[in-house]
């Protein structure tokens, strides 16, 4: 799913407004998927290919060469079908998808420089559309003073809105609520230098 330019601009405006109210930094990453999951189609295609010769050996008198060619064709056909993005995702266990999304969120947290805030009060809002996954990663300063349950509440609201297809509205609402929490504990100072970063779509 791609975010239209107008929607991205609205999300960035919400991020800018939220960040202006505190010394904290809010970085938002919207990922189409957290992984490509290439291994699952290969594993399943190999299993299907390995199983193909056995019924042919028992019910036909075909030569080994012919059965081998059929086995190869079945493997390649299965690989083509199972490599389709939607099928690939369905083949992957939910626990694996969540683990990949969690790992990707932590990677983006480091990659986007969220730890560079002087008060260690930066946060990352990470959303992965394919896995239907959302997470807020808070740096040490913010994590110490803001209860994890409050971040969890924002994530729950974010995922609930996204299920209705309102991705942009969900991100805007999450950015605003994160700004409220940060402003409560890390209010903005006069002559504060802006720390705005744009929405990152990966």
Residues 195, 15 contacting (CB under 8 angstroms): no
77: which 2 tokens?
């056909």
Domain count, the chain: 2
Same domain, 10 and 31: yes
Same domain, 31 and 123: yes
Range of the domain at 143: 5-35+93-201
Pairing of strands 200-201, 133-138: unpaired
Same domain, 190 and 116: yes
Same domain, 81 and 117: no
Closest CA to 159 of 115, 201, 197, 129: 129
Same domain, 71 and 107: no
What CATH number does residue 138 fall under? Answer: 3.10.310.50
Please give the biggest Cα pair distance in the chain: 86
Same domain, 18 and 77: no
Cα angle, residue 173 at apex, residues 171 and 177 outer, rounded to 5° = 115
Residues 28, 15 contacting (CB under 8 angstroms): yes
Tens-binned pLDDT, residue by residue, of the chain (202 aa) = 557 888 888 999 999 999 888 888 899 999 999 988 888 899 999 999 999 999 998 888 898 899 999 999 999 999 999 999 889 989 889 999 999 999 999 999 999 888 877 788 999 999 999 898 999 999 999 999 999 999 999 999 999 998 888 889 999 999 999 999 999 999 888 766 555 566 888 8
Total residue length of the chain: 202
Same domain, 81 and 168: no
Same domain, 127 and 172: yes
Give the pLDDT confidence score for residue 191 in this predicted structure: 61
What is the DSSP code (8-state) at residue 194?
P
- Cβ burial of 6 (10 Å; 0-12, 13-18, 19+) is exposed
Domain end marker among 25, 60, 91: 91
Same domain, 103 and 180: yes
């Amino acid at each position: 799913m791609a975010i239209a330019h107008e929607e991205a601009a609205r999300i960035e405006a919400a991020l800018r407004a939220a960040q202006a109210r505190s010394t904290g930094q809010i970085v938002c990453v919207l990922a189409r998927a957290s992984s490509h999951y290439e291994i699952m189609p290969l594993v399943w295609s190999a299993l299907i290919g390995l199983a193909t010769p056995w019924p042919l050996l028992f019910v036909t008198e075909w030569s080994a060469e012919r059965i081998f060619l059929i086995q190869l064709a079945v493997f390649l056909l299965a690989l083509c079908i199972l490599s389709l993005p939607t099928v690939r995702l369905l083949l992957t266990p939910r626990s694996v998808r969540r683990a990949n999304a969690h790992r990707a969120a932590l990677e983006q947290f480091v990659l986007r420089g969220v730890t560079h805030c002087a008060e260690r009060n930066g946060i990352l809002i990470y959303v992965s559309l394919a896995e239907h996954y959302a997470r807020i990663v808070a740096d040490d300063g913010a994590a110490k003073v803001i209860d994890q349950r409050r971040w969890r509440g924002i994530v729950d609201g974010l995922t609930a809105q996204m299920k209705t297809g309102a991705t942009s509205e969900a991100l805007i609402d999450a950015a605003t609520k994160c700004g409220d929490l940060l402003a409560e504990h890390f209010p903005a100072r006069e002559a504060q230098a802006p720390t705005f970063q744009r929405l990152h779509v990966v």
